[in-house]
Amino acid sequence: MFGKWKAWIGASPPRSLAIGFALIIAVGTVLLKLPVAVRSGIDLSWLNAAFTAASATCVTGLVVVDTGTAFTPFGQGVILALVQVGGLGFMTVGTVFAFFLRRKVSLRERLILQESLNQGNLEGIVRLVRKVILYALTIEAAGSLLFALRFMEDMNPGKALLYGLFHGVSVFNNAGFDLFGEFRSLSAYVTDPFVNLLSIVLIILGSLGFVVLADLVDYPIRRRLSLHSKVALSMTLLLTVGGAILILLFEYTNEKTLGPLGPGSQALAALLHSVSPRSAGVSTLDLSSFRQATQFLLIWLMFIGASPGSTGGGIKTTTFAVLTLAVLAVVRGRSDIVIFRSRLERDRVYKAITVTLFSLALVIVVTMVLSITENHTFMEVLFEVTSAFTTSGLSLGLTQDLSGPGRILIMAMMFFGRVGPLTLFYAIGPKPGRPLYRYAEGKIIIG
C-alpha cells in the first residue's frame, strides 16, 4: 500500500512539488504550536498556526496574529526559515544539502527542480540552482547588513542585527513579514529614504527571477540578454514607473495618505507602493485610507505580480506582456506576435490565456464565497483574495477579522498562488495524452 502511494506521489514533478509544499506547511504548523514558539499569555490555535505557516511558506505575509508581539525569537526563527524555504523552493534548499553531502542530484530531483524554477528544459538546471543560492544569500546578506546599520540608530546593536536579518530575508523573498508590532509594517519609516530605497531594491531583485539575475550578472561578459530577461525587465520598469505615477495622481491630495508628506517622501511612498503589490507585502501607509481607485489599481498590480522563477506570485509579468501583445496583434490584423524582433510561439499565448483565466476564475469564485461568509465590503474581500492568491500579503484590514472558513479559504488561495494553478491542475489531474485524431475545423462568430 505504501509503495503505491509513493509511486503516485513521485509520478509527476508537479505532484511532488505540491505535496512538498504541503508537508513544509504541516511541519511549520507543528513547530509554531510548540510552547517555546509563542510568548507567555498568547493562545495560538491550530488554525492560526497553520495560517501563519502557510503564509510564511507561500511567502505571502498575511497574518492573523502579530509576528513581532505574538512569537518568541524561536517562533520568529521558524517563520523566517519557512520564508527562506518557501522563497527559494524546498527542492532548491534540498539540493544545497545534496551539494554538501556530495550526493548526485537524481533525474527525478532535476525534474522537480525544473518545475519549481519554472524552466523549459533540464539543461543547466543544477548550475542554475548554484547561482540561485549564491545570488539569494549574497543579496540577503547585503540587505540584512544595511537594514541592521539603519536600525542601530533606533535600537541596541543586538536587536538591530536580528531585525536586520529578519527584514533582509523577508523583503528579498517578497514575504511581507515584519517585527515592528501592531501590524504596522514599515509605516514608521515612511519618510526615511534609506529604508524605502533599500526595500524597493530588495523587492525588485527578488521579483525579477533568478534567470534574469543570472543574465544581468553575465551581461558584462556576454553583452546580451535573453528574450525572457528583456521582457521581464521591460515590464517591471513599465509597471513600476506607471504604477507610481498613477498612485501619485490618485493620492497626492489625500490627507490620510500622501497629502501630509513632502514631495520627496510622496515620490518614495508612491514608488514603494507601486513595487510592493507585485508580491512583496511591504507598506508604509494605511492602505485602507487609500481612495478606491488606488485600491483597485493595487489589485491589478497584485494580479500581474512578479516575474517567473522569482520569489513572487501573480500571473507573472511575462504572461501579462504576452496577452497585451496578442491583443495588439489582433487589433493590427497581424497573425504573428513579435517582440524585440522575435516571434512568439502560439503555445506561449495559449498558456498565458490559460494561466490568466484559471487565476481569474479562482479569484472570482473565492471572492463570491467570502462575500457571503465575511461581513466586509466587496472591495476589502476582493483585495484580500487577490493578495492571498498572488502571495502579495497586502491587506485592507480583513485578515485579522476572518472567520474560520474564511481563513481556510485564504490559506488555500495562498497555497494555490505559490504552487501555481497549472502546477496544481497537473498534480491532481490525469496525465495528458496525445490525441490520435483531429476534428474538422469549425467557425464561430467572435465579438
Per-residue model confidence as pLDDT tens digits over 252-272? 999 999 989 889 899 999 999
Give whichever of 37-41, 123-127, 182-186, 360-364 has the largest mean pLDDT: 360-364
Q: Measured between alpha carbons, how far is 427 from 16 in angstroms, rounded to an integer?
A: 8
Check pLDDT > 70 for residue 328. yes
Work out the pLDDT band at 93, boundaries 50, 70, 90. low
Contact 33, 45 (CB under 8 A): no
Work out the pLDDT band at 86, boundaries 50, 70, 90. confident
In terms of Cβ atoms closer than 10 Å to its own Cβ (0-12, 13-18, 19+), residue 119 is middle
Q: What is the pTM of this model?
A: 0.87
Domain segments of the chain as ranges: 2-427
* pLDDT for residue 97: 46
> For 62, phi and psi rounded to 5 degrees?
-70, 130
Q: Measured between alpha carbons, how far is 69 from 81 in angstroms, rounded to an integer?
A: 18
Q: Measured between alpha carbons, how far is 112 from 64 in angstroms, rounded to an integer?
A: 32
Residue percentage of the chain with pLDDT more than 90? 35
State the average pLDDT over residues 10-26.
72
The helix or strand, by DSSP H or E, that contains position 342, with its residue range, turns out to be strand 342-343
Contact 422, 355 (CB under 8 A): yes
* pLDDT for residue 296: 94
* pLDDT for residue 74: 93
Cell of 85: 524555504
State the average pLDDT over residues 276-280.
83
First to last CA, the chain: 53
Per-residue model confidence as pLDDT tens digits over 330-363? 888 887 888 888 888 888 888 888 889 989 999 9
Work out the pLDDT band at 387, boundaries 50, 70, 90. very high
Q: At what angle are helices 346-373 and 378-389 packed, to 10 degrees? A: 130
- The more confidently predicted of residues 429 and 434 is 434
* pLDDT for residue 10: 45
- Angle, CA 112 vertex, CA 308 and CA 14 arms, to 5°: 80
* pLDDT for residue 113: 54
List of residues 6+ apart from 154 with CB closer than 8 A: 160
